[in-house]
Amino acid sequence: MKIALVDSGLGLLPAAAAVRRLRPDAELVLSADPDGMPWGPRAPADLGERVLACARAAAAYGPDVLIVACNTASVHALPALRAELEPALPVVGTVPAVKPAAAGGGPLAVWATPATTGSAYQRRLIRDFAGGAAATEVPCPGLADAVEHADEAAVDAALAAAAGRTPRDVAAVVLGCTHYELVGERIRAAVRRPGAPPVALYGSAGAVAGQALRRIGAEPDPAAAPTGSLTVLLSGRPGALPAAALGYAEGRLLHGAPARSGAVPG
């Protein structure tokens, strides 16, 4: 089985690692866009073209399913991707985990990029799935970029600023950008209040990986032989995982897979 993922950069690592844990035998094709990142500030039409280009590059490798491992790309490009690629290639988008976070009880915060915070899309998610729970939108300027470059000082500064905008009584934080899952434990520490229980974090990687397997009728098999290969595309060009990826457990997990040459199969 072959599973492709697209994102502007390292935001695809959490979902790719989740797939690898569920199916160590799956071949992975990671299609990132270093030439066009970040996607968030781009106009929707421009962003859509960048996402389509990455998806087409990945589709040339004959995957069984394509994961759009980016919240912003899922908002703006999912209909166009499905119109072009389905039904031959199922496409799975990413949605912030507002519903399960609200089901846990207590007030919640949704951490997201400034472009997503306050958007009609995010507010509709909160309205439809928060179930009446108090929800605070928290913009996190600079956090995704800091995570992308594994800039420790910049990550710390962005986390401190976002934590300062987060109500002290929140029981859960929804990670509304896939990059944020790479620093999940640091987010938990940043919002921890003395004497209070740890804040629950809700990301999308595990759910997206599970949905991708369901779309192709595959079952999780964590005990499968770890034979899955890794192909990396950088704005359509064969490449390798960026050095910054190895600063995260997810990147190190994927780095251990056999690398493919990147040549498009004939």
- Among 185, 203, 221, where does a domain finish? 203
Determine which one of 58, 177, 201, 234 is catalytic: 177
Q: Does residue 140 have an active-site annotation? A: no
Asked if residue 262 belongs to a domain, the reply is no
Q: Work out the pLDDT band at 159, boundaries 50, 70, 90.
A: very high
Asked if residue 63 belongs to a domain, the reply is yes
Distance CA 227, CA 219 (A): 16
Domain count, the chain: 2
One domain, residues 54 and 40: yes
Asked if residue 260 belongs to a domain, the reply is no
**Residue 44: predicted pLDDT:** 84
Decide: helix, strand or coil at residue 64: coil
This prediction has a pTM of 0.92
Distance CA 57, CA 179 (A): 22
Average pLDDT, integer, range 110-134: 90
Least confident of 15-19, 151-155, 227-231, 260-264: 260-264
Question: Quick one: DSSP state of residue 43?
Answer: -
- Among 188, 203, 218, where does a domain finish? 203
pLDDT digits (tens, 9 = 90+) for 89-101: 999 999 999 999 9
pLDDT digits (tens, 9 = 90+) for 175-218: 999 999 999 999 999 999 888 889 999 999 999 999 999 999 99
Structural domain including 153 reads 98-203
One domain, residues 31 and 53: yes
Asked if residue 33 belongs to a domain, the reply is yes
For the chain, what percent of residues have pLDDT higher than 90? 81
pLDDT digits (tens, 9 = 90+) for 57-94: 999 999 999 999 998 899 889 999 999 999 999 999 99
One domain, residues 149 and 85: no
**Residue 266: predicted pLDDT:** 40
Asked if residue 110 belongs to a domain, the reply is yes
Q: Does residue 54 have an active-site annotation? A: no
Residue 137 scores a pLDDT above 60: yes
Query: CB 126: neighbour CB atoms within 10 A?
Result: 19
Residue 18 scores a pLDDT above 70: yes
Decide: helix, strand or coil at residue 180: helix
Residue 130 scores a pLDDT above 50: yes
**Residue 106: predicted pLDDT:** 85
CA-CA-CA-CA dihedral for 192, 196, 198, 204, to nearest 10: -80
**Residue 184: predicted pLDDT:** 96
Locate 112 and state its tokens: 């997201």
One domain, residues 232 and 193: no
Determine which one of 5, 32, 70, 85 is catalytic: 70
| Domain CATH for 163 | 3.40.50.1860
One domain, residues 64 and 192: no
Residue 21 scores a pLDDT above 90: yes
Least confident of 35-44, 87-96, 218-227: 35-44
Positive or negative, the CA dihedral 160, 41, 121, 123 is: positive
- Among 203, 218, 243, where does a domain finish? 203
Residue 29 scores a pLDDT above 90: yes
One domain, residues 90 and 210: yes
Average pLDDT, integer, range 220-237: 96
One domain, residues 165 and 222: no
